Structure 1
Amino acid sequence: MLQLGDEVTLYSVVFALVLLGTRSPVWTTALTASLYLFLTMFRFPQVPTSRALQVLHPVGPGNVSVVAHRCGGHDAPENTIVAIRESSKNGATAVELDLEFSADSVPILMHDETVDRTTNGSGPLSQMRLSDLGKLDAAAKHRLRDKFAGEKIPTLEQAVEECIKLQLTIYFDVKGHPDEAAAALKELYKKHPVLYNTSIVCSFEPKVIYRMRQSDPEVVTALTHRPWSLSRLGDGAPRFSSPWKHRWMTLLDVALDWAHHHVLWKLCGISAFLIQKNFVSPDYALYWARRGVEVVAWTVNTKVEKDYYQDVLQVNYITDSLVEDCEPHY
């Protein structure tokens, strides 16, 4: 639940900004009241805390969960069955599965919108049927390509069945396609009810999470966020060369960040907030804990960082490797 202090701050800020913009107490009151009614009528409640904790802490309360990013893409070809198996063998308690769709609308595992970066093929997923994808080598561009040569791009169903067999918690990372993703996941939860207690649906796009809650309000969900993502790349470099565009996107970043922390999380009724590791601190984790939301950090790829999250912050983290230090994927 949103705390009383949050309510007062949220509506006070909105009231002040609208009043400054309109100079009309009537319009200001009406618009602020409309926001209150909108959040009251259309927000989703969080799932029961006991079930969220079961998903987020599968090895027990207080124990940090280690999530293999893209199924552990440093240790094996990302988003493949062999990567899921390697992650389990190397001690992961959960894996992140990136959900995309083939041209014939089959849900598959793939991070990008094209197959170029990870396979021996080329082209957008939107133009490749499942039969086309089945001919590709998903290990072709991996550093351990010789060891894992011939690994295939799995369907979502194949990956989920492997995770269930290995008793791994699943973080479904949905890249887009709100309606298609919600429908596919709803069918998956219907076929495998164990997922309600062993998985969480995550996305950078609030629309995806809201649509998922509309489709099935019993699913545990999370928003994913990186501050300054509109104006800067993952390594911090400016995304645009134009100073004016950079400043405009920076302003939008401020608004988006405020919305995530004060409106969107409540509207979607999330149970976790996945945030880029550089922004996590004890105070930040406490901020979300007071709202009944768990912090999960990404991407934590060195032993020093892992020890800090494990022993000091006691916050779940997502990592590219379970066995050695490595550079992060943004």
Structure 2
Amino acid sequence: MSALSWLTARPVAHRGLHDAGTGIVENTPSAVDAALQAGFAIEVDLQLSADGVPMVFHDSTLDRLTTGTGPVSARTADELQALPFKATADRIMRLDDLLARVNGRVPLIIELKSEREPNTTLATLAAARIAAYGGHAALMSFDPRLLPTVRAHAPEVPRGIVAELDFSGDDWPGLNPFQRMLLGHLLHWPASRFQFVAFRVADLDALAPRIARWCGLPVLTWTVRTPDERKRAARYADQIIFEGFRP
């Protein structure tokens, strides 16, 4: 059995087991608790506060989900935790809060968010905390420049790359054609040395994730929402990162 078999042993709840219709918002303590109760692995996202604390939050700005506005990185951890979400009494968690809450009961797959410049401070801090954590946890990012930092500071922490085939959309401004090709085809491996892949479900039949799987690397896929996507995932991937239903 592979040392990373735990990565693909259970379906992974995308940003926790959230359901806005019932007041459970993504990346919140309630979403984590719902996933724990159901026995799913949990995927969450990390941003860095102004005072250098890893915080569990997806967006780079506060506007969509909270009563606050502006960049997450402009507020201290205490200021972020004082902001209510729009639809729940939950507050933004610190990474330390998340680790204490889960306490090894299910695997954690944690995405490091990064902007145009690589957030190596976030990678360093998260790697140290995960290295000291007693349960199964892995770090991953769309930004391959963060993975050497994770490897240097915590080589025992599994590190993964999040990717899709086409990096030309509005979510990826400023990338030149070579950079888009490098990211979409996972050609950065000699530098990033990723140990698992999380690839967009619509692109799973691309050559890069298929080669990764042929080479024995675990391949997860995001974000699976429909029966057709679930069938596609069963053919090309080892496990799903899902939302909107319960596998």
Normalised to the residue count of structure 1, the TM-score between the two structures is: 0.65
Match of 1:315 in 2: 238
Given the alignment of the two structures, is residue 191 of structure 1 paired with residue 132 of structure 2, yes or no?
yes
Cα distance in 2 for residues equivalent to 1:256 and 1:102: 27
CA drift at 1:283: 7.0
The residue number in structure 2 matching 1:269 is: 193
Question: Structure 1 pair 158/255, CA: closer, same or farther in 2 (3 Å)?
Answer: closer
State the partner residue of 2:222: 298
DSSP 3-state at the match of 1:297: strand
Deviation at 1:233, TM superposition (A): 4.1
Give the superposition deviation at 1:115: 0.8
Unaligned 5+ segments in structure 1 are: 1-48, 59-64, 325-330
* 1:1-330 map, 5 Å: 50-53=2-5, 55-58=6-9, 65-74=10-19, 76-92=24-40, 94-138=41-85, 140=86, 145=87, 149-164=88-103, 167-176=105-114, 178-192=119-133, 194-195=134-135, 198-229=136-167, 231-233=168-170, 249-250=176-177, 252-258=179-185, 260=186, 262=187, 264-281=188-205, 286-310=210-234, 312-313=235-236, 315-323=238-246
* Identical counterparts, % of pairs: 22
Contact 1:84 1:95 in 2 (8 A): yes
Hey, what's the Cα distance between the residues in 1 that align with 2:99 and 2:221?
23
Task: Name the amino acid aligned to 2:169.
Answer: R
Matches of 2:8 and 2:222 in 1, distance apart? 16
Alpha-carbon offset, residue 106 of structure 1: 1.4
> Do the aligned partners of residues 252 and 100 (structure 1) sit closer, same or farther apart at CA in structure 2, a change above 3 Å counting?
closer
Deviation at 1:289, TM superposition (A): 2.3
- Give SS of 2:197's match: strand
| Larger relative helix fraction | 1
Query: Quick check: 1:90–1:322 contact (8 Å CA) kept in 2?
Result: no
Query: Contact 1:203 / 1:224 at 8 angstroms: preserved in 2?
Result: yes
Q: Distance in 1 between matches of 2:17 and 2:125?
A: 24
Larger-gyration structure (1/2): 1
8 A Cα contact 1:80 1:159, kept in partner: no
**Counterpart amino acid of 2:57?**
M
8 Å CA contact retained: 2:199, 2:209: no
Query: Per-residue deviation at 1:249?
Result: 4.3
CA RMSD of aligned residues (A): 2.7
* Pairwise CA distance, 1:287: 2.0
Partner AA of 1:169 in structure 2:
P
Q: Distance in 2 between matches of 1:163 and 1:203?
A: 21
| Consecutive unaligned residues in structure 2, runs of 5 or more | none
More strand by share: 2
What TM-score does the superposition give when structure 2 sets the normalisation length? 0.85
- Whole-angstrom distance in 2 between the partners of 1:278 and 1:307: 11
CA, structure 1 residues 256+190, in 2 after alignment: closer, same or farther (shift >3 Å)?
closer
Shift of 1:134: 2.1
Q: List structure 1 segments (4+ residues) > 4 angstroms apart after TM superposition.
A: 248-252, 282-286
Deviations 1:53-82, CA, capped at 9 Å, x for gaps: 2x3134xxxxxx311111234452111111
C-alpha distance in 2 between matches for 1:50 and 1:209: 21
Change over 3 Å in CA distance of 1:127–1:252 after alignment to 2: closer
Q: How many residues align?
A: 241
Distance 1:286 1:86 in 2: 32
**Cα distance, 1:292–1:315 mapped onto 2, change above 3 Å:** closer
Residue 204 of structure 1: CA displacement? Answer: 0.7
